């Protein structure tokens, strides 16, 4: 198995579960902390192109709910969503794992087991 790049924020429970799962399965990964390192606009755009806007934008989280109507509307268009996600990294679904076979959005143990284990 090749290396995995894991993106998220360290205090997110789902990210914590994913990190524990990767470590338990002996899978090497690099963790990218949005809060410390920010989010790369080009990478966000590529994720949206690969997985779709609805997979990348977390519309259920408290951060999204606190956004203005104009900001929420920006999340509906792939061109304006990137700028919104760079500014409000907590609106990016977590975690996102890049691996040799593609992209995993969110932590679903069964899906991760099939694709990574």
Tell me what the mean pLDDT of segment 50-54 comes to.
Answer: 95
Q: Mind listing the pLDDT tens digit for each residue in 57-78?
A: 999 999 999 999 999 999 999 8
Domain 4-116: give its CATH architecture: 3-Layer(aba) Sandwich (3.40)
Tokens of 76: 């509906």
Report yes or no: 35 and 9 within 8 Å, Cβ to Cβ: yes
| Residue extents of the structural domains in the chain | 4-116
Burial zone of 31 (CB within 10 Å; 0-12 exposed, 13-18 middle, 19+ buried) = middle
Q: What is the DSSP string of 23-69?
A: HHTT--EEEEEHHHH---HHHHHHHHHHH-HHHHB-SSSHHHHHS-H
pLDDT of residue 2: 73
Mean pLDDT of all residues in the chain? 94
Catalytic residue among 1, 5, 12, 84: 12
pLDDT band, residue 97 (cuts 50/70/90):
very high
Confidence of residue 32 (pLDDT cuts 50, 70, 90): very high
Residue 1 scores a pLDDT above 90: no
Q: Is 12 a catalytic residue?
A: yes
pTM: 0.92
Integer Cα distance of 17 and 63 in angstroms: 21
């Amino acid at each position: 198995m090749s290396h995995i790049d894991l993106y998220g924020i360290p205090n997110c429970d789902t990210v914590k579960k994913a990190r524990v799962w990767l470590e338990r399965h002996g899978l090497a990964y690099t963790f990218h902390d949005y809060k410390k390192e920010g989010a790369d606009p080009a990478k966000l755009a590529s994720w949206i192109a690969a997985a779709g806007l609805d997979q990348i934008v977390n519309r259920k989280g408290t951060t999204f709910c606190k956004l203005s109507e104009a900001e929420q509307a920006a999340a509906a268009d792939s061109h304006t969503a990137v700028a919104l996600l760079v500014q409000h990294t907590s609106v990016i679904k977590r975690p996102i794992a890049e691996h040799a076979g593609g992209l995993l959005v969110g932590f679903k143990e069964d899906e991760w087991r099939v694709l990574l284990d």
